[in-house]
Amino acid sequence: MPESRSHKSTANRLAKIHNAEYNQGQGPDIKTEDITIEVETPDSVDDAGRQLRGHRGPVYVAGTNKEAVDSALERYGDSTIGVMDNQGNIIKPSSR
């Protein structure tokens, strides 16, 4: 599936905030020593858990819009995975 413009712009924005590179290949979109972030659109929120499996430290799903953030909160609300919006604001902290 081709990458959406909102996914790419969100991933680049968050990578810049965290002084990291946006990984367009397999694995999480943004990975630093301190945080792992998977950017998702409303249609791909369910894929985030698989992408973040096995990563240590704080892990987050970043929604590209309000609908994606709401879906992520519903899907990962009772897990160790945190949720952030497309500006990098943490909505639900990661408990890892």
Q: Within its chain, how far is the Cα of 9 from the centroid?
A: 13
**Percentage of the chain surpassing pLDDT 70?**
97
What is the pTM for the complete model shown?
0.94
Per DSSP, the three-state class of 22 is coil
How far is the C-alpha of 31 from the C-alpha of 42, rounded, in Å?
21
Q: Are 28 and 38 in contact (CB under 8 A)?
A: yes
Q: Of 77, 13, 3, which Cα lies nearest the Cα of 40? A: 3
- Domain layout of the chain by residue ranges: 1-18+28-33+45-61+76-96
What pLDDT does 96 receive? 87
pLDDT tens for each residue of 23-64: 999 899 999 999 999 999 999 999 999 999 999 999 999 999
